Chains A and B, each alone.
Chain A
Amino acid sequence: MADIERRKFVKLGLTGAGALLAGVASASGAILPAVEPKKFNIIDFGASREGEKLNTAAIQKAIDACFRQGGGQVVVPSGIFLTGSVVLKSKVNLHLEQGAILLASTQFKDFPKRTVRSAARYQKYLNRCMIYAQAEKDISVTGPGTLDGHALLDGTGEFKEQNAENPSFIWFDECENIVIKDVTFRRSVWWTQAYTRCKHVHVDHINITENYFNNADGVDIVDCDDFIVENCSINCNDDGICLKGYTDAGCRRGIIRNNRVRTLCNGIKMGTDSSGGFRDILIEDNEIWQTAISGIALQIVDGGVMENIIVRRIVMNGICTPISMRLGERNRLVSGSLAVQPGIMRNVHISDIKATVNKAERYNDEERKRHNYIVHTSSVCGVPGSYIQDVTIENIDITIVAGFPVATAEDALRMIPEVPKDYPENRMYGTLPSYGFYLRHVKGIQMKNITINQKQADGRPAFMLDDVHESDFEEISVTNSRSAPVFSVKQNCSGILLDQIV
């Protein structure tokens, strides 16, 4: 019965993914015109390549002119253009040509606070940015040029790390039909880009690099519908591609594919703010490398709903934790009408993951100053009374190369705190009692064809099941130089099938 239900989901999920893929792709085609657009070169509006001069007004003039004439392309030619915050308008394509650099001012006064039309809790984290848009349609930022956040690592400049007042590069709020394509983002002082309550967002082939500041996320999709993030190369300090839900809306119908992500936090994440939930999300064919927290982090901790999630064909080369799923009860209050109640996390299908686990490499002193995290076990954890439900995890190949602290058999007896209100993260429980997967408060999980090769001598079992029900585990193959069990099952479990345990 449960089997049939799960299979049905997988089919529906795939169909849904196909449908949403088509929708976003056509939207994206409409934004970028096939014919040569009208061009508005910022030089013509007074912009100067002298690094000292602030070009905010010139760029804004170009945008406004373009907008007034019914849209077109605002061209940033080769050169370094210092700028503060500009506002993008409907049907305007901001195009950065080869060699073009929009260099952020290092002063707050150049980035006025933006106020969104309808208040939302994400304003706590988003209020300044280089390119802002509110309720615009058909807007895009494209081209091989660069957006440089000018994060100063020597402590000079006004933008210090971990200040939520710092500007992002791009913040589009309540916009429709967005394309961000080809551009490079570097040295962000805050979240690199955030799309909040937008529809039809296409982030394609962008590059994010040198994001050393704490909180420098790669791509944040907040309460959006119909989005694709694809073909991107992201290397950043904080979460790589992150879906968030601060309002009732949450994120719906999204595809994250063919990206190459590396971060000192989570590779691809849903959460932490999750009151609006996440539905119909397809994450496929991504590569994650030398990432310091989780490769895939799926979190509902503020009472939202996560459902119909497909994660497949992910290669993780050097990850501290391949998969981390958490249904918690942080219950950060929602500003909208959604009453906070226990969250729901269900219908999550994860398949074809190949991961090597090790403590993430950090390549320079700036990285070594931050996020010195150790390896933790993959976990799927609800809280007492709130179960994560109907999860499929199959075709998983995890090789644990190094980086676990030496784990003894005694670690298998650690009492794991429930900490329902704690910030969700792979490390939130401390050392877990198993080295492969730790499952607690879960109903209806189906794990199949899982290979875990533990290269370190580990005294713990590969899997620990605690308050797990109606769940099947088949074709489980583990290697560990110590003769530890494959499964340890707590007394509070029921309806468990363990088959072909090798």
Chain B
Amino acid sequence: MINPDFFQRYPVAPSFTADVDLNIVNFGAVGDGKHINTSAIQKAIDTCSGKGGGKVTVPKGEFLTGTISMKSNVHLHLEEGGMILGSPYMKDYSKVYWSHDVNHENGAQCLVSASGQSKMMISGLGSINGNARVDSTGEFRDTGNNDLRPPLFWFENCTDVTVKEVTFRQSLMWTVMFDNCKHVWVDRIKIVENYFYNADGVDIIDCEDFLIENCDINTDDDGICLKSASRGCNRVVARNNKVRSLCNAFKMGTTSSGSFTNILIENNHVWQTVISGIALQIVDGGVMDNVVIKNMVMDGVGTPINLRLGDRGKPGKMKVQRGILRNVQISGITATTGKVMKYNEAEQHHHPYPPYPSSICGLPGYLIENVSIEDVTITIVEGFPTGTSEELLREVSESPAKYPENRMFGDLPAYGFYFRHARGIQLKNISVSTPKEDGRPAFVFDDVHNATCSGLTGNNAKDTSLLSVKSGCSKIRIG
């Protein structure tokens, strides 16, 4: 069992000299929501950094700005009522060049950036606002084409970073993104009003020793998402967060040519999330190894658990023969699954997906290995589509290159869990209940090997089997 002591260096807040204490207003910034403050804020940051570091304060007020770049040893503090407000025009965003990201070799824009810096902190009860306008004023539209919309926060190749308390809102794109960073602590941030497509909550890309905790994230796209295209995510802990997403709450992928190792996700709360509560994906030839997920309440989710070892056929720097997805322990999950609530007009337009059963699916010859799922209670509620007994016989397409998602296979042959191409499966104390009549069994195994099952229950108004085993299985033990 993993515990967070595995951090090579536990992520903590860096300390800053108290000698330097600057206020952006003193550099000409005007908090009227109209005046563009890019250079004033940047000057404050540069000055602070030039003096060996210290604090830069954003006081109460709406400070409209384009791209600003954080520097080493700077603590940017947003006072209560202080807001960094993104310009609605692309001209105010300068292109920043990233050292490694294969997806952005030509550079990309963002609002708050940092590249190759260390010892930084952003804190305070103020906010960083992407100014995403659902009324279509401004240049940025909710198109789904992500290159035209700057992310809110993008730190790349940085070390010793703390982000705490700040509220991020109205992101045009991904909200908080750490790429190739080390020793990062994200604590008690809030992400709200993220109605645009692709507005992920927190993206953790190829980072090491990363702790995210106590956050409250409500976002259009994935809530807390680990990605990897290079050296991999290693030693990441996500705990005590409250996450809601119109996509996946906790995800690894889709970009997954690198690796995810030593990941601990515990004591999180997921609510009204449209796609999966937990989505673990290797589809670009990478490696996922040693992932522990425990104690998660999912209060309304489309799919509790979704594991996929696929092959999108994209070249990656660490591409191996297909990918590897192994050693995943999931325990202590209590989920209600059914139609998810949407609370306003902006949400209604997005992601109209029905719920699906949980699935753990590799590919023929490339099996997901060593997955244990223990102490899981799934209660199916209104809006979960029932299946007929014929669904059990449907040929489920392999679709190796298809975008991985809970819905990628269409209706599944089980109402609880569908396992295919997996080896070393331990299932213990899993209960799935549906109030409706579902013609499918609770569990289906197809090309599953070395599986141990005990304490499985399926409560279904129809007396279907607990488990159906398709041909090509071996060493299935039912306790």
Contact = CB atoms under 8 A, between A and B. Distances in A.
A409 B478 contact: no
Contacts of B457: 491
A495 B472 contact: no
Interface residues of A, number: 31
A498 B465 CA distance: 15
B390 A490 contact: no
Contacts of A408: 389-390
Contact of A491 (B466, B471, B475): B466
Contacts of B463: 413, 415
A161 B386 CA distance: 53
B469 A487 contact: yes
30 contacts: A409-B389, A409-B439, A412-B392, A413-B389, A413-B464, A459-B389, A459-B393, A461-B465, A461-B468, A483-B394, A483-B470, A485-B441, A486-B473, A488-B441, A489-B465, A489-B468, A489-B469, A491-B456, A496-B477, A497-B476, A497-B478, A498-B473, A498-B474, A498-B476, A498-B477, A499-B474, A499-B476, A501-B470, A501-B471, A501-B473
Interface in A467-502: 477-478, 482-491, 493-502
B243 to A, nearest CB: 33
Interface residues of B, number: 33
Contact of A478 (B388, B394, B471): B471
Contact of A409 (B392, B462, B471, B476): B392
Interface string B388-404: 11111111000000000
B479 interface: yes
Interface in B363-413: 388-395
Given A413-B463, A491-B458, 11 more contacts: A409-B439, A410-B390, A477-B471, A485-B470, A488-B467, A489-B478, A490-B466, A498-B473, A500-B474, A501-B470, A502-B472
Given A495-B478, A501-B472, A485 B392 contact: yes
B475 A488 contact: no
Interface in B426-479: 439, 441-442, 444, 456-458, 462-479
Contacts of A496: 476-478
Nearest to A492: B466
Contacts of B465: 412, 461, 464, 488-491
User: 10 closest pairs, A vs B, by CB?
Assistant: A485-B468, A409-B389, A488-B465, A496-B478, A498-B476, A491-B466, A487-B469, A501-B473, A488-B468, A489-B467
Contacts of A412: 389, 392, 464-465
Contacts of B466: 489-491, 493
Contacts of B390: 408-410, 459
A486 B470 contact: yes
Contacts of A490: 465-466
* B contact face: mostly helix, strand, loop, or mixed: mixed
A486 B462 contact: no
Interface of B: 388-395, 439, 441-442, 444, 456-458, 462-479
Contacts of B470: 483, 485-486, 501
A451 to B, nearest CB: 12
Contacts of A493: 466, 478
Nearest to A478: B471
A499 B475 contact: yes
B436 to A, nearest CB: 14
B439 A413 contact: yes
A473 to B, nearest CB: 9
Nearest to A414: B463
Contacts of B476: 496-499, 501
Interface centre among A409, A486, A491 (most CB of B within 10 A): A491
A410 B471 CA distance: 20
Contact of A484 (B388, B393, B472, B473): B393
Nearest to A459: B393
B478 A413 contact: no
B470 to A, nearest CB: 5
A248 B462 CA distance: 44
B393 to A, nearest CB: 5
Contacts of A486: 469-471, 473
Interface in A381-419: 408-410, 412-413, 415
Given A410-B388, A415-B463, A502-B471, A482 B479 contact: no
Contacts of B394: 483
A461 B440 CA distance: 12
A501 B388 contact: no
A448 to B, nearest CB: 13
B58 to A, nearest CB: 59
Given A412-B389, A413-B389, A459-B393, A501 B469 contact: yes
B478 A485 contact: no
